[in-house]
Amino acid sequence: MKKLYISLIIVLSNLSFSQTVSLEAFGPTFSSPVEIAHAGDNRLFIVEQDGVIKILNADGSVNATPFLDIDSLVGSGGERGLLGLAFSPDYSTSGRFYVNYTNNSGDTVISRYTVSSDPDVANTAATVLLTITQPYSNHNGGKLAFGPDGYLYIATGDGGSAGDPGNRSQNTNTLLGKILRIDVSGSTYDIPTDNPFANSGGSPEIYAIGLRNPWKLSFDTLNGDLWIADVGQNAFEEIDKVVGSGTPGDNYGWRCYEGNAPYNNGGSCPAFNNTVMPVADYALANGRCSVTGGYLYRGSIYPNFYGKYFFADYCSNEIGILTENGGTWNMTFQTPNITQYWTTFGEDINGELYIAGNGRVYKISDPNLSVSENEVLHFEMYPNPSNDMVNIRFSSQFKDIESVTIYTVQGKRVKKIKPNNTAQLSISTSNIQSGLYLIEVSTRNDEKAIRKLIIN
């Protein structure tokens, strides 16, 4: 047991101090993917900027028929296009989903669609909920997401140009530079009663103000906290976090402030401490130019990632990670094994993360949990992660195998099996709690090999 304990310490030390992000291509090439979403099942829906949504299946295949094709309605190019997709929380019964696109006149449209009798194809009829006039071609925002309150949140940019020349982000009578929140449970939409201007004083759809070009927002699936990545002007990129969905009327500061620094804070600007201060920001240096927001990892496959917020920079090709330490979020950047111009992240039904750039979708993984074939004992273990069964395939020396044992990372034995002179052993994991485990293979000569096993 002492020998095993020492081996466990070595393995856990590697797990604790390694933070490399690895990417694995998933599926074929797409045309300018700008959003990845799921509908409460194992499918991923890939949003292409020109107006097409395709289904990427769990095996990496793509359906020949698009889920939705509204190319004729969409004006794409630059920062325009089909930019957002959100499935209703009751999608399994209502079949409703929502898209955010730039129309052929250059204005933002929020529309509702429904799925057809074929679960892989949507109806083409739409209900237009909102049309927002865009004065310039850039800063369209585009993200849609349902909050823990069941309302639809819409991220809008400040209308474009540079420096928000119309001061639209601070203007509560325009929908630009805002987070909007609407109740879409009815035939069109209603205004939540606690929206800050639900009754008077500003546009009732507004929930929060002071954003430049939020490229993306997401809700933590564990506690509902709202994360926003707001693209900066020429000095800083910022990431914002609020508890829950924040407070109605929150002000994120633009154009008065860019990141933690003043930008144009004359006139009627609020004091900096009366705005939502960024949880993190970074300067436009080292080739960095534009933040792409992501998700707080809540999956089960990669324990190192749990509770960390993943984002990226479009120009530097880096993936950034925010890690909480005593209430402070520390920022690190990594150059992954594959570099692209990162346009979007995605989260699947299990909380595992994906990223897209240059037409490809990639799975995000921790390579320290990969299975190596170059250890003391040569054996193959699959699938890893495991759901109900893990298979062990031994080398030609399988007759020397004494036992196969599953341990918790604390060293507690969970299951021990005798191979009985067989080249392959199948072990049921259906009654083992999900998490990180270690499999030890022992020979009659007291040789041991330990590998990491994830059980979903």
Q: Per-residue pLDDT tens for 234-263?
A: 999 999 999 999 999 999 999 999 999 999
For residue 328, which of 261, 277, 279 has the smallest C-alpha distance?
A: 279
pLDDT of residue 105 exceeding 60, the answer is: yes
Confidence of residue 450 (pLDDT cuts 50, 70, 90): confident
Listed range (133-137, 301-305, 334-338, 380-384) with the worst mean pLDDT: 380-384
pLDDT of the residue at 304: 84
In a domain, 13, yes or no: no
pLDDT of the residue at 65: 98
pLDDT of the residue at 369: 61
Rounded average pLDDT over 120-140:
98
Rounded average pLDDT over 1-13:
44
Peptide bond into 336 cis (omega under 30): no
Rounded average pLDDT over 276-286:
97
For residue 336, which of 312, 319, 321, 352 has the smallest C-alpha distance?
A: 319
Separation of alpha carbons 350 and 41, rounded Å:
9
User: 374 and 361 in one domain?
Assistant: no
pLDDT of residue 389 exceeding 50, the answer is: yes
Write down which residue in 319, 337, 365 finishes a domain. Answer: 365
pLDDT of residue 11 exceeding 50, the answer is: no
In a domain, 384, yes or no: yes
Rounded average pLDDT over 116-126:
98
pLDDT of the residue at 397: 56
User: 421 and 280 in one domain?
Assistant: no
Domain count, the chain: 2
* C-alpha dihedral sign at 38, 31, 318, 226: negative
User: 177 and 82 in one domain?
Assistant: yes
Write down which residue in 338, 365, 392 finishes a domain. Answer: 365
Listed range (35-39, 144-148, 245-249, 264-268) with the worst mean pLDDT: 264-268
Rounded average pLDDT over 176-196:
98
pLDDT of the residue at 401: 81
User: 221 and 91 in one domain?
Assistant: yes
For residue 47, which of 354, 373, 451, 399 has the smallest C-alpha distance?
A: 354
In a domain, 14, yes or no: no
pLDDT of residue 395 exceeding 80, the answer is: no
Q: Which residue has the higher pLDDT, 452 or 43?
A: 43
pLDDT of residue 380 exceeding 80, the answer is: no
Write down which residue in 340, 365, 390 finishes a domain. Answer: 365
Confidence of residue 441 (pLDDT cuts 50, 70, 90): confident
User: 288 and 160 in one domain?
Assistant: yes
Separation of alpha carbons 269 and 256, rounded Å:
6
pLDDT > 70 in the chain, percent = 92
Q: Which residue has the tokens 């190192």?
A: 304
Give the structural domain span for 173.
Answer: 19-365
In a domain, 307, yes or no: yes
pLDDT of residue 19 exceeding 60, the answer is: no
Q: Which residue has the higher pLDDT, 208 or 404?
A: 208
Q: Where are the beta strands (DSSP E) in 49-159?
A: 52-56, 68-69, 82-87, 96-102, 108-114, 127-132, 144-146, 152-155
What number of residues does the chain have?
Answer: 456
CB neighbours (10 Å) of residue 434? 14
User: 396 and 284 in one domain?
Assistant: no
Separation of alpha carbons 43 and 295, rounded Å:
18
For 165-184, how does the pLDDT look when each residue is reduced to its tens digit (9 = 90+)? 999 999 999 999 999 999 99
* C-alpha dihedral sign at 95, 217, 352, 314: positive
Strand-pair category, 424-428 with 413-417:
unpaired
Burial class (CB in 10 A: 0-12, 13-18, 19+), 281: buried
User: 323 and 299 in one domain?
Assistant: yes
In a domain, 218, yes or no: yes
- Residue partners of 453: CB distance under 8 A and separation at least 6: 381, 384, 385, 386, 390, 406, 436, 437, 438, 439
User: 427 and 318 in one domain?
Assistant: no
User: 353 and 430 in one domain?
Assistant: no
Is 109 within 8 Å of 100 (Cβ atoms)? yes
Listed range (98-102, 281-285, 369-373) with the worst mean pLDDT: 369-373
pLDDT of the residue at 1: 45
- Per-residue CA distances from 450 to 5, 28, 372, 437, 441 (Å): 11, 35, 11, 10, 7
Strand, helix or coil for residue 127: strand
pLDDT of residue 3 exceeding 50, the answer is: no
User: 384 and 331 in one domain?
Assistant: no
Taking only Cα atoms into account, the Rg of the chain, rounded to an integer number of angstroms, comes to 25
User: 380 and 360 in one domain?
Assistant: no
Confidence of residue 139 (pLDDT cuts 50, 70, 90): very high
Listed range (76-85, 96-105, 131-140, 414-423) with the worst mean pLDDT: 414-423
For residue 201, what is the domain's CATH number? 2.120.10.30
Rounded average pLDDT over 192-208:
97
Is 450 within 8 Å of 428 (Cβ atoms)? no
pLDDT of the residue at 394: 73
User: 349 and 381 in one domain?
Assistant: no
In a domain, 31, yes or no: yes
The one-letter amino acid at 86: A
* C-alpha dihedral sign at 407, 413, 415, 419: positive
Numbers of helices and strands, H then E, in the chain? 2, 33
Mean pLDDT of the chain: 90
Strand-pair category, 33-37 with 379-382:
unpaired
- Residue partners of 216: CB distance under 8 A and separation at least 6: 143, 155, 228, 229, 292, 293, 294, 344, 345
pTM: 0.81
pLDDT > 90 in the chain, percent = 74
For residue 445, what is the domain's CATH number? 2.60.40.3080
